[in-house]
Amino acid sequence: MTGGGRLGWIFGAVRTAAADLLLAAALAATSAGIAVAGPAPQRIVSLNLCIDQLLIDLVARERIASVTHLAHDPLYSPRATDFAGIPANHGLAEEVLALEPDLVLTGPFSRPSTTALLRRLGYRVVEVPVAATLGEVRSQIRELAALVGAEARGAAMIADMDRRLAALPPRRDPAPIALIYDTNGLTGGADTLADEVLSFAGFDNTARELGIAGWRLLDLETLVVGRPDFLVVGDLAAIPPSLGRQLLRHPALRQPGLRRIELSSSHWVCAGPAVLAAVESLAEARLAASAETPR
């Protein structure tokens, strides 16, 4: 035991023989001393962007002690402005210590060394599996809601998502084909959130038709030959200048038969309600286009 953190001190004390009295005193000191999980955490630190995105809807802002710096970056976070004022972390143990959290949430990609160090210092660190699809996100929301004591809010979020999914305009055959084309030509094939977004919005995914699984860089010529009806490029105004962005302005992507939709790729970085926002606006674009020129 190297000390640091009130809970660490408490857990350390549990192991000692004469700890019973101390523990009782400590538990009494907290407002609601419920069993092992303790009270609903009031100073939550998240080290994972996808957890940030759900947390902001699950608990009051005041209870979030810190989110990842990515949550503040509109390139990755569709609602970056909602996080304004919440301190940012870069996933480093030092930053977490200073915040004195009572719950640290990590994802599968958090640094193991950071997690181990925080645990050794006695912090409560919980790794939450991050959903890869909209199907999986329900259980992730439930798990997270239980951890932060917001079960009712979590259930409401899931119900809202289901309602929005059910309200989507029906798919029409033959479905128009669309391609998500982001900075550097990044596209999502089978088994990606991008593919799920297109499919819910009533499109076939060009990348899937080209045999792409996962995320891959797609060259211009293959794109042209793949012949999508719609091209979903990132929100060009929000992407900082680079050669990768320049590619999205290539004249080959500005053909009369190719409809461009500008939509920030931040929507399909994490599974969650933001994905639905993207699905809804793409489905709307599909309907608007088919109203113009019936296929």
74 contributes a contact to another protein by CB under 8 A: no
Residue of 261, 254, 266 whose CA lies nearest to 287: 261
Least Å distance, CB 234 to another protein, is 11
240 contributes a contact to another protein by CB under 8 A: yes
Least Å distance, CB 260 to another protein, is 15
35/243 with CB nearer another protein = 243
3/240 with CB nearer another protein = 240
Site for another protein in 181-200 (CB under 8 A): 183-185
Residue of 289, 284, 291, 290 whose CA lies nearest to 164: 284
Residue of 74, 28, 63, 69 whose CA lies nearest to 47: 69
69/171 with CB nearer another protein = 69
222 contributes a contact to another protein by CB under 8 A: yes
R_g of the chain, CA atoms, integer Å: 23
Least Å distance, CB 269 to another protein, is 13
167/224 with CB nearer another protein = 224
> By the 8 A CB rule, do 245 and 236 touch?
yes
106/183 with CB nearer another protein = 183
244 contributes a contact to another protein by CB under 8 A: yes
Kindly indicate which of the ranges 42-50, 145-153, 199-207, 235-243 contains the residues binding another protein, using the contact rule CB under 8 A.
235-243
Least Å distance, CB 54 to another protein, is 23
239 contributes a contact to another protein by CB under 8 A: yes
| DSSP reduced 3-state for 165 | helix
Contacting another protein (CB under 8 A), which of 247, 270, 275, 282? 247
Contacting another protein (CB under 8 A), which of 113, 257, 291, 295? 257
SS3 for 19-49 is HHHHHHHHHHHCCCCCCCCCCCCCCEEECCH
190/252 with CB nearer another protein = 252
Contacting another protein (CB under 8 A), which of 3, 243, 292, 295? 243
Output the CA–CA distances (angstroms, integers) from residue 280 to 233, 268, 294, in the order listed.
Answer: 16, 13, 20
What CA–CA distance (Å, rounded) separates 141 from 157?
8
165/252 with CB nearer another protein = 252
- Signed CA dihedral, 242, 245, 247, 252: sign only: negative
| DSSP reduced 3-state for 187 | strand
Residue of 2, 3, 1, 88 whose CA lies nearest to 45: 88
**Tokens at residue 168, please?**
């989507």
Residues binding another protein: what is the number (CB under 8 A)?
Answer: 27
Residues of this chain that interact with another protein (CB under 8 A) are 75, 183-185, 217, 219-222, 224-225, 227, 239-247, 249-252, 255, 257
